[in-house]
Chains A and B, each alone.
Chain A
């Protein structure tokens, strides 16, 4: 009798625990959809109408969702902002890591959160656009509808060679018998830029090897000489060059000279632009590393402007700049969200035609089988 009772109690407790925990979940599980869902309608502010954004953010804690696991560059940026948020607003910000689906889960969560201004996300606007238009599974957001607070540390991509190869520039790279270029997955930013660059530069001897779990694995493979090339940020190239793993970039995917690599040619210098390849060129420029902060669509405009103002104020604090410098070798270069919006719109314009599909085909053609 006791045994049956015990088992019954066990099952009951388990069921109640599951029920209690399921009621605690705030956002619904995202339903997979090939097209972005419409933005949620703005929710009324929970506080009396008289409360200003300053008062609102002083009294309520903001949740900053990072769509990746703790410890990476994006997580660092989120924690940086969270630690200085009280200094400029008097309120609190907490960081929550919500990894999954290559960052899609966390971004979905921000998109579908209540539009009261208390949920923001940290990521890269370029990744949001790529995930949406390159066919990443499970995307429920529309990157055009996010409200961008600001970003900093925009870092362009660079094609770089392993220190173990003899080639030092593009011409010498073309003479190599075979060049293996490492990437994570076929839809990653490194694969996108690689596919485009190889096409624009006519590097027929270069093949893409996807499958590395992360950028640090790619960098290790570069250092070992297992792969001969890869696509990295200019800051990552500098770190790897310091370790003796990488050479200066053979080409920079940028329209402006980079202070870290003043002697490396820009993509526009080595490619003859035509109407046929202009879209690819524009798309490659749109894929860069940046630390972007964004909000749920539909948030009250006054709150958004307040957030943007406070973000810019924060980036001017000496403590913030010193802490940011520890992780970012290049210039901080913070931008307000309204400066960012035209860039996002331009990138979406490029991606929303058939360019994304054509880039997918380029990548597939270059993958080592």
Chain B
């Protein structure tokens, strides 16, 4: 049955109608991805009304293609200009932008784009192969296990720390404290909201992430002057596009691990896209021969998050199709689109309609590859933005980012938050505190508390005495012990040689 459904899905690619809507989705997704801060949610919600009048084989491939390639487009802006094209592209900023500043824009772009395609291919293959298991895996998880999955993400705070681990943990802790502002779902208490309804839901992710990352970089660029990349180094750097693409295969362990991590995170509802990218980045740093160079412009720091960005999509799609539970924020809209075209998510999507599910997975794969090819052909031209003088580029970036922050919720307070977190980002950069750790703490803090409270109420103080939870606890310990044990091993080898 699985094989028949797969064959049927492949044969549906003979339809010109499917190709038309998929290509339309690719172009729209790339444009929305390249425009900074706009993101997938806005793109999908703009097209949702049109789905009313479409059939499933028109509307769903359109939306799937948009959702898949939006991160590919976002990688371009992130690497070249230093603004995350979408929030999950933030992890790519850490090494992608420094590579552009060093005159290696081409290599960074090549690696980022190829990583997107690689992540999508691995994720699609895993999704198709594991269809019978995914449902069982998700249904076996409990809130207790979620506590430790989130804790594993928090464990990477220490890994993300460059230089002082204490500073990294302080940043992460500050991020977690900020995440606690707002209405607490379990107790019904509003914390630190000062009776302001905006703070009732806590700070939104977009103004926090963009403020922390973008404003310090813009100010640094404005103060430094010149352009993002020096002209001579830039021209030499652009020839590295294909070198960057090959880097993905040279660092295939990083690429594969990142894609798998992202696929697993994507399957689990409630964890979130940014966790996948930052955990993949943290893992790449852990296994690197030169972890101390991460954040200064290393190619694995681009490969890992971009593999994760596309890698999580198929996992999230599978959970959405099979359970009717959205695997990500964008999948909420995808669920709505399914309703609009008359499909009911659930076990039927993995049995009676398995061919349609496979079609959507293949659309994700093909769209990603086609999107990457289009971006490769445009890369040389788009990359010239790195040569635009700072005095022109910085106000433009600032305005576009501000408009993007406001456009998300049409909320003035988002802009104020953007400025406040921008100021915080400047201070963190000046005193060498770890900004990614703050963002990761912000994303995970509330999630950890929510799941912990629930787990305690459901299972009491010994809620963790479950096989799945104990396995995850062991994995967390391995995360912490990996770095020190690697150092011990290397020291031991060094002593043995002497």
CA distance A326 to B345 in the complex (A): 12
CA distance A305 to B124 in the complex (A): 53
B225 and A10 form a contact (CB under 8 A): no
CB contacts under 8 Å to B, within A202-221, are 209-213, 216-217, 219-221
In the complex where A10-B222, A216-B326 touch, is A18 in contact with B419 (Cβ < 8 A)? yes
- Choose, from B64-72, B101-109, B291-299, B333-341, the stretch at the interface: B333-341
Chain B residues near A10: list those with CB within 8 A: 218-219, 222, 394-395, 398
| Minimum CB–CB distance for A322 against chain B, Å | 9
Chain A residues near B341: list those with CB within 8 A: 326
| Minimum CB–CB distance for A186 against chain B, Å | 4
CA distance A368 to B402 in the complex (A): 44
CB contacts under 8 Å to A, within B170-193, are 183, 185-188, 190, 193
B201 and A101 form a contact (CB under 8 A): yes
Contact for A137 among B190, B270, B394, CB less than 8 A: B190
A209 and B454 form a contact (CB under 8 A): yes
Say yes or no for B159: interface residue by CB 8 A criterion. no
Chain B, residue nearest A94 (CB): B49
Say yes or no for A242: interface residue by CB 8 A criterion. yes
CA distance A30 to B44 in the complex (A): 29
Chain B, residue nearest A83 (CB): B52
| Minimum CB–CB distance for B202 against chain A, Å | 10
A-B residue pairs, 3 tightest by C-beta: A211-B186, A138-B197, A71-B332
A-B contacts, 30 listed (Cβ < 8 Å): A3-B223, A7-B219, A10-B398, A18-B415, A21-B403, A21-B415, A22-B412, A30-B197, A69-B332, A70-B41, A71-B48, A80-B52, A98-B409, A98-B410, A100-B197, A101-B200, A104-B197, A138-B197, A185-B188, A211-B453, A212-B454, A216-B269, A216-B324, A217-B270, A221-B143, A224-B141, A242-B346, A243-B346, A326-B342, A327-B339
Majority secondary structure, B binding face: helix
Inter-chain CB contacts under 8 Å: number = 184
| Minimum CB–CB distance for B143 against chain A, Å | 6
In the complex where A70-B48, A323-B52 touch, is A223 in contact with B223 (Cβ < 8 A)? no
Contact for A14 among B201, B391, B402, CB less than 8 A: B402
| Minimum CB–CB distance for B171 against chain A, Å | 24
Say yes or no for B17: interface residue by CB 8 A criterion. no
CA distance A217 to B198 in the complex (A): 24
CA distance A184 to B263 in the complex (A): 28
Say yes or no for A75: interface residue by CB 8 A criterion. yes
A72 and B197 form a contact (CB under 8 A): no
A7 and B139 form a contact (CB under 8 A): no
Q: Which of B183, B347, B390 has the most CB of A within 10 A?
A: B183
In the complex where A25-B412, A32-B195, A239-B346 touch, is A326 in contact with B225 (Cβ < 8 A)? no
| Minimum CB–CB distance for B412 against chain A, Å | 5
B394 and A326 form a contact (CB under 8 A): no
Residues of B within 8 A of A (CB): 41, 44-45, 48-49, 52, 139-143, 183, 185-188, 190, 193, 195-198, 200-201, 218-219, 222-223, 225, 269-270, 323-326, 329, 332-333, 335-336, 339-342, 344, 346-347, 390-391, 394-395, 398-399, 402-403, 406, 409-413, 415, 419, 450, 453-454, 457-458
Chain B residues near A101: list those with CB within 8 A: 183, 197, 200-201
Say yes or no for A339: interface residue by CB 8 A criterion. no
CA distance A69 to B336 in the complex (A): 11
CA distance A209 to B197 in the complex (A): 25
Chain A, residue nearest B338 (CB): A326
Q: Scoring A residues 10 to 24 as 1 if CB is less than 8 Å from chain B, else 0, what string do you get?
A: 100110011001100
B402 and A17 form a contact (CB under 8 A): yes
| Minimum CB–CB distance for B302 against chain A, Å | 28
Chain A residues near B187: list those with CB within 8 A: 186, 210
Chain B residues near A243: list those with CB within 8 A: 323-324, 346-347
A137 and B195 form a contact (CB under 8 A): yes
Chain A residues near B450: list those with CB within 8 A: 211, 213
Chain B, residue nearest A224 (CB): B139
A2 and B457 form a contact (CB under 8 A): no
| Minimum CB–CB distance for A49 against chain B, Å | 32
CA distance A211 to B450 in the complex (A): 7
Contact for B183 among A14, A105, A185, CB less than 8 A: A185
Say yes or no for A355: interface residue by CB 8 A criterion. no
A186 and B200 form a contact (CB under 8 A): no
Say yes or no for A88: interface residue by CB 8 A criterion. no
A187 and B188 form a contact (CB under 8 A): yes
Contact for B325 among A13, A96, A219, CB less than 8 A: A219
B457 and A211 form a contact (CB under 8 A): yes
Q: Which of A75, A186, A220 has the most CB of B within 10 A?
A: A220
A83 and B49 form a contact (CB under 8 A): yes
A3 and B225 form a contact (CB under 8 A): yes
Chain A residues near B458: list those with CB within 8 A: 180, 209, 226-227, 368
Say yes or no for A114: interface residue by CB 8 A criterion. no
Contact for A211 among B185, B326, B347, B399, CB less than 8 A: B185
Chain B, residue nearest A30 (CB): B197
Q: Scoring A residues 214 to 254 as 1 if CB is less than 8 Å from chain B, else 0, what string do you get?
A: 00110111011011000000000001001110000000000
Contact for A6 among B346, B347, B390, CB less than 8 A: B390
Chain A residues near B141: list those with CB within 8 A: 224
Chain A residues near B335: list those with CB within 8 A: 71
Chain B residues near A95: list those with CB within 8 A: 49
Chain A, residue nearest B142 (CB): A226
| Minimum CB–CB distance for B417 against chain A, Å | 12
In the complex where A102-B183, A243-B347, A326-B342 touch, is A70 in contact with B409 (Cβ < 8 A)? no
A76 and B197 form a contact (CB under 8 A): no
Contacts A6-B225, A10-B394, A102-B200 supplied; 13 other A-B pairs, CB < 8 Å: A21-B412, A22-B415, A25-B412, A69-B332, A71-B48, A79-B48, A100-B200, A104-B197, A137-B193, A180-B458, A210-B188, A217-B325, A224-B140
Chain A residues near B193: list those with CB within 8 A: 137
Chain B, residue nearest A32 (CB): B195
In the complex where A10-B219, A220-B323 touch, is A213 in contact with B270 (Cβ < 8 A)? yes
Chain A, residue nearest B422 (CB): A14
CA distance A2 to B395 in the complex (A): 15
Chain A residues near B188: list those with CB within 8 A: 185-187, 210
CB contacts under 8 Å to B, within A1-51, are 2-3, 6-7, 9-10, 13-14, 17-18, 21-22, 25, 29-30, 32
Contact for A100 among B336, B390, B409, CB less than 8 A: B409
Say yes or no for A289: interface residue by CB 8 A criterion. no
| Minimum CB–CB distance for A33 against chain B, Å | 9
CA distance A223 to B324 in the complex (A): 12
CA distance A108 to B197 in the complex (A): 10
Q: Scoring A residues 264 to 304 as 1 if CB is less than 8 Å from chain B, else 0, what string do you get?
A: 00000000000000000000000000000000000000000
B223 and A7 form a contact (CB under 8 A): yes
B52 and A13 form a contact (CB under 8 A): no
Chain B residues near A72: list those with CB within 8 A: 332, 336
Contact for B332 among A70, A220, A323, CB less than 8 A: A70
Chain B residues near A79: list those with CB within 8 A: 48-49, 52
B336 and A70 form a contact (CB under 8 A): yes
Q: Which of B219, B222, B342 has the most CB of A within 10 A?
A: B222
